[in-house]
């Protein structure tokens, strides 16, 4: 199937590894021109040949400066993928009913909601000109806030609401907004020695590998295995493709059946 993405100019945030890196690779394979934004570059990202822009999107004015840098090189922009997200779990947060102090909530919202809002704000004029597409990467924890920091689940729920509301506001000027919602995906957050799952395992006094093996079943994923980042990337490409003009305001779950809703 020709997704009609060849020659499109794409901006992907949080692009250095995991889901973001898979998205970069998928667009390049379709013949798109990709600019990858992240705090730091990686050898894997460099190997893709994508244009790299370094930016911390969680700080004030970081998103605007990043988008200005991208558009200074070429004012065209057809697709924006807001993938930047995640965060860290501070010491003591796992013993706290609110999963952290005010500063932890603020930092998580800045990265998982604010970065998407402000990057979109800066990129929207170019996307309107191109009659382009925005795809935001959420999390199933927005609908099922179990076993994760509350501030992360709440921020992703807010991202869902922002995305749905924005979809209504900009559809009339030709910009389509959609969301992809993964469940447990094979990324550093899950598998990394310093990732969230490793922190939880240490807190519970069990092996990281043991917890990782049990997570799919405990999360209700009927496949019994973690999702591959490439699967998320395929959903992103479809939602941003000009061949899907009626996909507006949708939220596609790629979750191995974890969300038990009709």
Of 27, 152, 196, 252, catalytic: 152
- Is residue 91 within 8 A of residue 38, CB to CB? The reply is no
- Is 152:207 a contact under the CB 8 Å cutoff? no
152 is known as an active-site residue: yes
Q: Give the C-alpha separation, 72 to 123, whole Å.
A: 12
How many Å apart are CA 33 and CA 41, to the nearest integer?
18
What single string gives the DSSP state of each residue in 235-261? HHHHHHSTT-TT--S-EEEESTT-S--
In order of 80, 237, 258, the CA distances from 181 in angstroms are 16, 14, 11
Active site residues: 152
């Amino acid at each position: 199937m020709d997704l009609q993405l060849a020659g499109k100019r794409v901006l992907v945030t949080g692009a250095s590894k995991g889901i973001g890196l898979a998205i970069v690779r998928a667009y390049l394979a379709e013949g798109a021109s990709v600019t990858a934004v992240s705090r730091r570059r990686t050898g894997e990202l460099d190997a893709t040949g994508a244009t790299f822009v370094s930016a911390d999107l969680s700080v004030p004015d970081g998103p605007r400066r990043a988008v200005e840098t991208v558009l200074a090189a070429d004012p065209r922009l057809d697709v924006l993928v807001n993938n930047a997200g995640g965060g860290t779990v501070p010491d003591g947060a796992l013993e706290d009913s609110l999963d952290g102090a005010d500063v932890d909530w603020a930092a998580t919202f800045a990265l998982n909601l604010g970065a998407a809002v402000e990057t979109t704000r800066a990129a929207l004029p170019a996307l309107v000109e191109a009659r382009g597409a925005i795809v935001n990467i959420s999390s199933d924890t927005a609908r099922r806030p179990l076993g994760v920091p509350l501030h992360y689940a709440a921020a992703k729920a807010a991202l869902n609401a922002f995305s749905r509301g924005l979809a209504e506001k900009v559809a009339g000027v030709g910009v389509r907004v959609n969301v992809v919602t993964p469940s447990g995906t094979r990324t550093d957050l899950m598998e990394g020695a310093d990732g969230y799952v490793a922190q939880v395992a240490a807190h519970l006094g069990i092996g990281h590998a043991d917890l990782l093996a049990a997570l799919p079943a405990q999360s209700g994923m009927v496949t019994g295995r973690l999702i591959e980042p490439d699967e998320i990337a395929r959903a992103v490409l479809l939602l941003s493709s000009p061949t899907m003009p009626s996909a507006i305001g949708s939220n596609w779950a790629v979750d191995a059946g974890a969300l038990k809703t009709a």
